[in-house]
Structures are given as C-alpha cells and as structure tokens.
Amino acid sequence: MAKMREIPINDFMTKNGKVREDGRVVRDMYLMQAKTLEESKGEWDLVKMVATVPGNEAFRPLAEGGCPFIK
C-alpha cells in the first residue's frame, strides 16, 4: 500500500490521481451535461463537459473522514 500511495494514477479514467492514507482514490471529477439533438454529431456524442472539479475539492478532506485507521 505504501508503494501504491507513492505512485500517481494515470490511466484512461484518472490523470494524476492518488491513493490517500485512508485508501480513497482522489482524482478530478467532471460535471457533464446531456447534449440536445441539435448539438449531437453522432450516435455516441451524448454529453458535453461543463466543469472540472479538482480532486481536493470533490472529496471529503482526510481529517473529516472519521477513518479509525488514520492517526
């Protein structure tokens, strides 16, 4: 687990994510909005990104989590 916490997560879904001491993966979250039929350009063109919420704002702070394993 210590090694996993050291290495940033970079895969198809997560860019520069990290595993916190409590085991939670913290990464940016995305606010999406459904496209109208006029906006859509194809069968899989369904949503547009409205905003990116940084991981440190999207998840509850470690100190407020109440995890009994965190000292």
pLDDT tens digit string along 27-48?
Answer: 999 999 999 999 999 999 999 9
Say whether pLDDT at 67 is over 90: no
Please report whether residue 35 resides in a domain. yes
Let me know if residue 46 belongs to a domain. Answer: yes
Does 70 map to a domain?
no
What is the pLDDT at residue 50? 97
pLDDT cut 70: percent of the chain above it: 100
Angle at 52 between CA 47 and CA 56, to 5 degrees: 145
CA-wise closest residue to 14 among 67, 24, 39, 68: 24
Domain span at residue 48 reads 2-64
Residue 69 belongs to a domain: no
> What is the rounded average pLDDT for all residues in the chain?
93
Encode pLDDT of 18-28 as tens digits: 999 999 999 99
Q: Does 10 reside within a domain?
A: yes
The count of structural domains within the chain is 1
Residue 54 maps to a domain: yes
pTM (2 d.p.): 0.76
| 33, 48 contact by CB (below 8 A) | yes
Which helix (DSSP H) or strand (DSSP E) does residue 36 occupy? none
